[in-house]
Amino acid sequence: MEYTWRWYGPQDPVSLDDIRQAGATGIVTALHEVPPGQVWTKELISERKQLIETHPDPSRSKLRWSVVESVPVTEAIKSGIQGRDQDIAVFQECIANLGAMGVHTLCYNFMPVLDWTRTDLDFLQPDGSTALRFDQTAFATFDLYILGRPGAENEYTEAEKKDAKAFADQLDDEAATLLQQNIIAGLPGSDKDYSLAEFQEVLDQYKSVDEHQLRENLRYFLEKVAPIAKNANVNLAIHPDDPPRPLLGLPRVVSTEADARALLDMVDEPCNGLTFCTGSYGARPDNDLVGMMQRLGDRIHFLHFRSVQRESESIIGSFYEANHLEGSANLVEVVKAAVKEEGKRRAEGIPSSIPMRPDHGHKMLDDLHKKTNPGYSAIGRLRGLAELRGVESACLR
Ligand code: DNO
């Protein structure tokens, strides 16, 4: 595997020099400053690439820009409204420019309105570190009582509504604001920052988009971008839904193995592939991660390794992010399967090293006293990468 690390650009409190010390050689980043729907020019890409790949001291370990995460897919593309063709043309141009500048793996997602979603960014662990958590009751409380989404009451069971009411009753204003911020103010890497009213407005754009329609919009998009990617020698790697299920009445279509298979079949070309995020897929008890790695392996272009602890075996249950080798995912077996996949590729004479990043990490040690990006503090990821490298080395013996 190629050890990579997500870096949010020059503003990231974790610097490129820090990343060198973590043992990563690949950088995963995006031009976060370019608003969605605008072209990433070759000049901008080249400038960022230089920043990553050259160091005033030539004896320093080399880094390369391995993966783009993410080029934003606009709401017009996902909802299929007017303007989508123009936005798809911009996406095509980004692909071509990235390929021309030597960045050959592109992660993106197709989640309507919300990117990854958590309700608690500081969930205390027994060892004193903190983790990210998605609590179904807190989420329902937001939906029913803070956002007050029309029709939401029909989407929860009586028991869920009762729990949400009890949760809402003990929330003070400060806690309610924090919950709202955690959900809609945009976690790092997502490109949105909504007020409640704006948020409801974007949700309304999806009134007539059901699961079937969203899948058709994904097909429409893929049929247009995959040929450009093939030409530019860029591998597309769609990130799964996080959490992997419909939210707030919005459909989601990249949540299960069947979803992944369907999208691979829409354009049956190697460049139309997956980001295998074990944290996102792993939040559902019906996703068999090792089996998915085995069955979908040849189309996996990027690995996000993280393990969530499911708090119930329901598809809509709560979960928190455990240490990488703990939790529900069994990453030791997944790493083993990834090492096997690489062996298969080597035997076929195709490039075999899959970029992998330790995804998220607990906030711990010195980072507890620092301002960090939720999930993306240095030390928790350092620990995750170290553990995962250890597992890989053992598998290679
Ligand atoms: C969260 C990330 C997501 C991911 C995008 C990919 O940590 O995994 O924000 O980058 O969904 O497009």
Residue 239 in contact with ligand 1 by CB distance below 6 A: yes
> Is residue 375 lining ligand 1, measured as CB closer than 6 Å?
yes
| Atom of ligand 1 at shortest range from CA of 190 | 9
pLDDT given at position 6: 98
In the β-sheet with 130-134, what is the strand arrangement from edge to edge?
120-124, 130-134, 319-321, 308-310
Give the pLDDT score at 261.
98
Which CATH fold topology does 2-120+210-396 show? Answer: TIM Barrel (3.20.20)
Span 8-20, average pLDDT: 97
pLDDT tens track for 205-250: 999 999 999 999 999 999 999 999 999 999 999 999 999 999 999 9
State the chain's mean pLDDT as an integer.
97
Distance 106 CA to ligand 1 centre (A): 12
Helix pair 173-184, 196-204: axis angle to 10 deg: 40
Residue 363 has pLDDT above 80, yes or no: yes
Q: Is 277 a known active-site residue?
A: yes
**Which pLDDT score is estimated for 189?**
81
- Residue 141's contacts (CB-CB under 8 Å, 6 or more residues apart) are 164, 167, 168, 171, 179
Question: Residue 291 above 80 pLDDT?
Answer: yes
Ligand 1 atom nearest 188 alpha carbon = 9
Residue 265 structure tokens = 């079949």
What is the C-alpha separation between 279 and 65, in angstroms, rounded? Answer: 23
Residue type, 11: Q
Give me the pLDDT at residue 275, please. 99
Mean pLDDT in residue range 22-31: 98
Q: Going by C-beta distance under 8 Å and a sequence separation of 6 or more, which residues neighbour residue 24?
A: 3, 4, 5, 63, 357, 385
Tell me phi and psi for residue 197, to 5 degrees.
-65, -45
Residue 190 banded pLDDT, cuts 50, 70, 90? confident
Atom of ligand 1 minimally distant from the CA of 239: 6
104 in active site: no
Count of residues for the chain?
Answer: 397
Give the rounded distance of the alpha carbon of 111 from its chain centre: 10
pLDDT score of 394 more than 80: yes
Q: Which tokens hold the place of 14?
A: 């974790």
Nearest to 357 by CA among 333, 327, 381, 390: 381
Residue 322 has pLDDT above 80, yes or no: yes
- Cβ atoms within 10 Å of 371's Cβ, excluding its own: 7
Instruction: Tell me the CA–centroid distance for residue 172 and ligand 1, in Å.
Output: 30
Distance CA 150, CA 291 (A): 40
Of 94, 104, 239, 281, which is the active-site residue?
Answer: 239
Percent of the chain exceeding pLDDT 90 equals 97
pLDDT at 191 over 80: no
* Exposure string over 242-251, b if 16+ CB within 10 A, otherwise e: bbbebbbbbb
